[in-house]
Amino acid sequence: MTSAHLDHSPALYLLIGIILVCLLPLSRRKARRYPPGPRRLPIIGNLFDVPKDFGWKRHKELSRKYGSDLVHFEVFGTHIVVVNSAQAAKDLLDKRSNIYQDKQHSVMIHELTGWHRNFSLLPYGAGWRTRRRLFHQHFRPMAVPQYHSRQTKSVHTLLQMLLDTPNEYREHIRFMTGSTILDIVFGFDIEHDDPRLEQVERGVQTAMEFMASGVYLVDIFPVLKHIPSWFPGAGFKRQTAKWKVLVDAMHEIPYYQFKETMREGKAKPCFASTLLSGAEDASYGSESADEVFMSLTGTAYVAGSDTTLSTLNCFVLAMVQFPHVQATAQGELDRVLQRKRLPEIEDRESMPYVTAVVHEVLRWHSVLPLGLPHRTLADDEYNGYFIPAGSVIVANSWGMLHDEALFPEPDVFKPGRFLRPDGSLNPNAHFPIETFGFGRRICPGRYFAQDLLWLTIANVLATFKLERPLDEDGREIELSGEFTPRVLSMPEPFDCRITPRFEGAEHLVRSAQLHD
């Protein structure tokens, strides 16, 4: 959250000035014992104190400064409470989820850009509950195994691409994650440069663009949504109109293409086919079945593609930066597989170290380090601090997963923190569940994501060696290890060497592709 993203205009500032005068009484309210935070200015509060870049690190610093798990900001009368410890998150977001399960209404998200269809962003209510229930039915732990064969096929395709053009590993990972989701959701067989994949990626990119811009004044002063797009300073209205076209197309075009395929009897069994098969016997209140199903299929793609892509890029960076971890995992893979086959999901029980690597990837850098904000439905109190109804609650999952008390040397990639001394998985270790969210808003696709991550990581480590790039003199180039600073955080682009790690690896990869 940061300063507003609007064009500078004297006319617009005059309008805002009038609104600020109306808000002046709000700055004179009776003081309450809120959680500690930076000193607030009249009217605007902490508008300039809420960090824009790497907010998760700044919030953790403030938590230490004030000696509090909670840090409080106020911006134009809106209370923002940042939760910085796993215990506080459990106490509030899990145990009191009936209070903390709502989402803040955003004019940008819910009215102007078309992102109201993403049910993870919907306020609490019947529409959200319906979507959550339907999604859970298809992605609960008992349902996910039906997708394993498709996940495995996609991973084998990734291996083939890494074999042929390893320098393009980032694009290969992007293709793998996107095509896997479209296959699961619609049964689409996606090829490179497929317009359906490009279309949904353009829609997803709009979210990255508007979230990267910080807070928009229209979310602070909703009356601004009524100003015409030609009004001086209303460039946001013109921009959101362009974004909405892309977001609507992302939700509608593949869905209606699939419906036509299903009508012709050519559809493959998939998430959408199961939804539509039961549509005649279902009722969704004032909403049409199509609207509910488009929300579900669109959310499945958005939630599953870029987060998985970002996590796998973190994995590649970790393996390059910590080669001894890579070697240990590959030793375990060789002991189980004897270099005679590729790993399958059924091998997971026999590979605790590889599983610990997956856990540590999720912990080492949470790709949504501040998650998606919650909103309180009622007043609450925690450790003597008042949290008013309507507060925006930000869970600093990165800060929780870098808590030295839970994870000593948190910046070091150490899969061993999840293992017993005998090398088996430690059931009492703190699994990094925080990266998936909290309470009733926890990611319902987390079991699918964890299985895809395990298959990808195990197969890449079984067949390839990941190393730092070389300079002109053949010396290894040190990587910066920097991450992008905004809502969805991933490693800054970096080069690495990806080569088959033993003589028969290429044969294993090409044989698997032939048999899929």
Binding residues: 443
For residue 267, give both structure tokens. 């559809």
Q: Let me know: does 491 contact 483? Beta carbons within 8 Å.
A: yes
Q: Which residues are annotated as a binding site for heme?
A: 443
Going by C-alpha positions, the residue among 219, 163, 144 that lies closest to residue 446 is 144
Pure H helices in 78-194: 86-89, 97-100, 107, 126-139, 148-164, 169-186
The total of other beta-carbon atoms located within 10 Å of residue 232's CB is: 13
Q: How far is the C-alpha of 222 from the C-alpha of 111, rounded, in Å?
A: 10
Q: Let me know: does 252 contact 114? Beta carbons within 8 Å.
A: no
For residue 116, give both structure tokens. 């109201």
> Which of the 8 DSSP states describes residue 119?
G
For residue 459, give both structure tokens. 């197969």
Q: Is 148 helix (H, G, I), strand (E, B) or coil?
A: helix
For residue 71, give both structure tokens. 């840090």
Q: How far is the C-alpha of 48 from the C-alpha of 115, rounded, in Å?
A: 27
Q: How far is the C-alpha of 82 from the C-alpha of 99, rounded, in Å?
A: 16
Q: How far is the C-alpha of 172 from the C-alpha of 158, rounded, in Å?
A: 6
Give percent helix, percent strand, percent coil of the chain, each to the nearest 5.
Answer: 55, 10, 35
The total of other beta-carbon atoms located within 10 Å of residue 285's CB is: 9
For residue 140, give both structure tokens. 């609960």
Q: Let me know: does 78 contact 220? Beta carbons within 8 Å.
A: yes
For residue 181, give both structure tokens. 């989701």
Q: How far is the C-alpha of 38 from the C-alpha of 59, rounded, in Å?
A: 11
Q: Crossing angle, helix 235-263 and helix 169-186, to 10 degrees? A: 60
Pure H helices in 404-500: 446-463
> Which of the 8 DSSP states describes residue 74?
E
Distances from the Cα of 46 to the Cα of 38, 42, 146, 175, 280, angstroms: 7, 9, 49, 41, 51
> Which of the 8 DSSP states describes residue 493?
P
In sequence order, the 6+-apart residues with CB closer than 8 A to the CB of 30 are none
On the 0-12 / 13-18 / 19+ scale of CB atoms within 10 A, 503 is exposed
Q: Is 374 helix (H, G, I), strand (E, B) or coil?
A: strand
**In angstroms, how far is CA 155 from the centroid of its own chain?**
20
Going by C-alpha positions, the residue among 364, 352, 351 that lies closest to residue 319 is 364
